[in-house]
């Protein structure tokens, strides 16, 4: 009997897998669930340990979206856009002026968008949860058009950085 138990145990435990698409759908869902949790946990740890901000969007196998974020992301991005970071002050200033011009020209349309958001908020207010400053947990009406623009411009800005030779990127993609 001890023998039977031991033999069963020998077949359990973590096994090595290749990093390639999991074909069996049920396994894929389980793996996704476990690893997404692990990824979010790692992100949280990095945020806490190093006092940094992270924003992340993950699409699921079922095309749902999962999101992760740490507080103050907006502020960091805003500072970045407005050139208060250490590098490329000239370029940042330029971006800043583009941003402001963009801001003027879009003001009216953004008001329309703002109105639409308010409408959505009205119909969703009852389903919301309270929050303490995590932007990913904010309700829609707390995200004004300025913030939207900041984020949009930050995407533009960080992609510009990526396009330069000093960018960091995941080399392990070929592993």
Partner DNA sequence: GCCGCTATATATAAGGC
Partner DNA sequence: TGCCTTATATATAGCGG
85 binds DNA (CB under 7 A): no
Provide φ and ψ at 67, rounded to 5°. -130, 155
With respect to a copy of itself, which residue has the nearer C-beta, 93 or 167? 167
- Please count the other Cβ atoms lying within 10 Å of the Cβ belonging to residue 12: 7
132 binds DNA (CB under 7 A): no
34 binds DNA (CB under 7 A): yes
Record the tokens describing residue 6, joined without a space. 């031991």
Q: How many CA atoms lie within 13 A of 169 on its CB side?
A: 12
26 binds a copy of itself (CB under 8 A): no
96 binds a copy of itself (CB under 8 A): no
101 binds a copy of itself (CB under 8 A): yes
- Rule CB under 7 A: choose which of 3, 12, 59, 90 binds DNA: 12
With respect to a copy of itself, which residue has the nearer C-beta, 5 or 172? 172
14 binds a copy of itself (CB under 8 A): no
168 binds a copy of itself (CB under 8 A): yes
Coil, helix or strand for 66?
strand
Provide φ and ψ at 148, rounded to 5°. -60, -45
With respect to a copy of itself, which residue has the nearer C-beta, 6 or 23? 23
Record the tokens describing residue 47, joined without a space. 């945020």
167 binds a copy of itself (CB under 8 A): yes
8 A C-beta contact, residue 29 and residue 61? yes
In angstroms, the CA 119 to CA 50 distance is 39
Site for a copy of itself in 139-158 (CB under 8 A): 139-140, 143, 148, 151-152, 154-158
With b for 16 or more beta-carbon neighbours within 10 A and e for fewer, the 26-58 pattern comes to eeeeeebeeeeeeebeebeeebeeeeebebeee
- Rule CB under 7 A: choose which of 4, 7, 16, 83 binds DNA: 16
- Contacts to DNA by CB under 7 A: 9-17, 26-27, 29-35, 37-39, 41-42, 45, 60, 62
């Amino acid at each position: 009997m001890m023998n039977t138990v031991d033999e069963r145990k020998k077949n359990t435990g973590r096994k090595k897998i290749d990093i390639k698409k999991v074909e069996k759908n049920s396994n894929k869902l389980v793996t996704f669930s476990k690893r997404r949790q692990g990824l979010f946990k790692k992100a949280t740890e990095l945020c806490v340990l190093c006092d940094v901000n992270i924003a992340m969007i993950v699409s699921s196998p079922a095309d749902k979206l999962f999101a992760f974020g740490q507080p103050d992301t907006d502020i960091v991005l805003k500072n970045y856009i407005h050139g208060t970071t250490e590098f490329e002050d000239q370029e940042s200033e330029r971006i800043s002026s583009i941003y402001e011009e963009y801001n003027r020209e879009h003001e009216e349309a953004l008001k329309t968008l703002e109105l639409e958001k308010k409408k959505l908020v009205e119909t969703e207010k009852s389903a919301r949860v309270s929050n303490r400053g995590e932007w990913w947990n904010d309700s829609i009406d707390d995200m004004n058009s300025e913030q939207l623009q900041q984020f949009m411009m930050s995407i533009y800005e960080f992609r510009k950085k990526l396009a330069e030779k000093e960018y960091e990127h995941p080399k392990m993609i070929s592993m």
